[in-house]
Chains A and B, each alone.
Chain A
Amino acid sequence: MKRQGVLIIGGGIAGIQAALDVAEQGVNVYLVEREPSIGGHMAMLDKTFPTLDCSACILTPKMVEVARHPNIGLLTYSELREVKRVEKGFEVKILKKPRFVDETKCTGCGICAQHCPLEVPNEFDMGLGVRKAIYVPFPQAVPLKYTIDDEHCIQCGLCQRVCKAEAVNLDQRPEVISLTVGAIIVATGFKIFDAKKRSEYGYGRYLNVITSLELERLINASGPTGGRVLRLSDGRIPRRVAFIQCVGSRDQRAWGHHYTGNPYCSRVCCMYAIKNGVLLKEHIHDIDVTIFYMDIRTIGKGSEEFYQRAREEFNVHFVRGRVAKVIEIPETKNLLVRTEDTETGKAIEREFDMLVLSVGLMPSSGIFELSKILDIPIDEHGFPQGAHVETDRFTTGGKGIFVVGAAQGPKDIPDSVIDASAAAMKAAISLARVKE
């Protein structure tokens, strides 16, 4: 009789925490992650709010623990394909996508990537940097095994020739793994709002308008510019930066095929913009940082204090006025921002070198298909629906399936971690019930 275990879908901070908390109870965990490495969005960040702690420093120890834990089976570059409810839980089928690299042989040395002739935009760097067709997404990847991106690979075979461990296997096939588990935790995280939909801000047309995630990669010392924040149009250091809040959030417009903003508040954008504003002040001497907002929502312990510090100590400017339009000045590629300073009642037009759009959070791509596979209800925004808004937001779609972290709704790191621990508890309880 197989021991009942827990299947966790998604290897971001919530999935990682849930995996550890379940495993520590002596229960088997299968952690399924569709990217080549676990880590999720938190691995992309530079510093976290409100403490300005280094994100990787908090995350990577947990990632390593997951890799080493005897009770955790890590299935990266894999996706859930089928779920069937049975008496003792769920029969699941997981598709292990071919990496074209034998995980048991690969040592992560990286010689293959050195020789690979193909450079493609790096998704981890939001397309701002490059990687090879054979790659690890970032240096602290777990597992540190190379993957061949078969969409771009030209099958030249160079990597195969130079790999000393003979780990490259261009004939690798997808594998289907069947498991029986007692509970499932959905920890699929989020994706950011597509800022192109707010075409009045010019994202995608104006080079110096970037999203907050792109800024995270520029600020990060292990990012494509080595931590130097530069303008994408000319590589110059920006001296005047503005943050535009509520891009794709708190937007009741939902008509036509041009406007599909999300009506809800994404909860984390005020804090992350203030954090990034403070980081910019620390990185660049004499930089002018302005945040244009409708409301500043700084929830959680230490957040309001952080906001006050940003205003008083770091001299970040705050303007209460939602930005209506951004115009690019053709000669300099600088940006004109039009807003009304509602505190003085004057319509103003200010010039900036760079704009950062604080994009909102949405359910991860593929959540709709996943909800069909799991047979769980999703709400009108695409988030899986919990059993009860106030008292049980985890349990979804009948017994044994739980949704946590940003997959449940926009959430910051502290709350995602707590969510995960709580769901781990719930999952263990539901397993204990089954055993009886």
Chain B
Amino acid sequence: MTKETTPKEDERKRILKIAEVNPGLQYELSKAPGAEKLMQCLQCGTCTADCPIARFSGSYSPRLIIRMAQLGLISKVLSSDTIWLCAACFTCTDRCPQDLELASVLRVLRNMAVKKGFIPEALREMGSNVVETGSVYKVPGSRIRKREAAGLPPLPKSNPRRLAKLAEIVGFPKLIEKRGM
């Protein structure tokens, strides 16, 4: 009797993956504005071929992300760092022969991840700066003085009350609140 190398282990892994597949999810996803053509992807790989991030990353592949979205295997994708690597350079969007707005699909996935509480810290900070000051950066006093010295007009002010009100209406503060993750 030949010794078999634990096929049960592999089988379990495979079965798990299949149970995770949720083909219905792509219909839900394609309702989100920007991801309408998600199901039209035929996995040709054009997006990944010239993606500046994919070329230097070795593990990042927009095509793979779309495939996982099509199969509904996105729970791992949403909690990973991968979707935050997209530089939104729109090279994929320009090149896709099926006219999928890939950068938009990635944005939809990022929006979903944020709703689940996954958000890079740097981004969270930028979000809270905008609501407070109107700008993603808190411009330090030294720069303000530099502007004056250079004879530039003062920076236009923001309207924090208006920003806070609108942010509240679209549910923004909840998305960027610090959670104990």
Contact residues of A with B, CB < 8 Å? 200, 246, 250-253, 261, 294-295, 320-325, 338-342, 345-349
B63 — which chain A residues lie within 8 A by C-beta? Answer: 340, 342, 345
Instruction: Please tell me which stretch of B92-100, B131-139, B145-153 contacts chain A, meaning at least 4 of its Cβ atoms lie within 8 angstroms of it.
Output: B92-100
B99 — which chain A residues lie within 8 A by C-beta? Answer: 252-253
How far does the alpha carbon of A342 sit from the alpha carbon of B96 in the complex, in Å?
Answer: 15
B55 at the interface (CB under 8 A from A): yes
A346 — which chain B residues lie within 8 A by C-beta? Answer: 58
Shortest beta-carbon distance from A78 to chain B in Å: 40
How far does the alpha carbon of A89 sit from the alpha carbon of B74 in the complex, in Å?
Answer: 65
User: In the complex, are the beta carbons of A324 and B97 less than 8 A apart?
Assistant: no
How far does the alpha carbon of A349 sit from the alpha carbon of B58 in the complex, in Å?
Answer: 13
Known: A294-B42, A294-B44. 10 other contacts (CB 8 A): A200-B50, A246-B97, A252-B40, A252-B97, A261-B97, A295-B42, A322-B49, A338-B50, A345-B63, A348-B49
User: In the complex, are the beta carbons of A322 and B97 less than 8 A apart?
Assistant: yes
A253 — which chain B residues lie within 8 A by C-beta? Answer: 96-97, 99
User: In the complex, are the beta carbons of B50 and A325 less than 8 A apart?
Assistant: yes
Interface centre among B49, B58, B95 (most CB of A within 10 A): B49
Chain B 62-84 interface mask (CB, 8 Å, partner A; 1/0): 01100000000000000000000
13 contacts across the A-B interface (CB closer than 8 A): A200-B50, A246-B97, A250-B97, A252-B40, A253-B97, A321-B46, A323-B49, A325-B50, A340-B46, A340-B47, A342-B44, A346-B58, A347-B61
B43 at the interface (CB under 8 A from A): yes
Partner of A324, one of B43, B50, B61, B98: B50
User: In the complex, are the beta carbons of A347 and B49 less than 8 A apart?
Assistant: yes
A261 — which chain B residues lie within 8 A by C-beta? Answer: 97
A345 — which chain B residues lie within 8 A by C-beta? Answer: 61, 63-64
How far does the alpha carbon of A322 sit from the alpha carbon of B48 in the complex, in Å?
Answer: 10
User: In the complex, are the beta carbons of A324 and B64 less than 8 A apart?
Assistant: no
Q: Report the nearest A residue to B100, measured CB to CB.
A: A252
User: In the complex, are the beta carbons of A324 and B47 less than 8 A apart?
Assistant: yes
A323 — which chain B residues lie within 8 A by C-beta? Answer: 46, 49
Q: Report the nearest A residue to B95, measured CB to CB.
A: A324
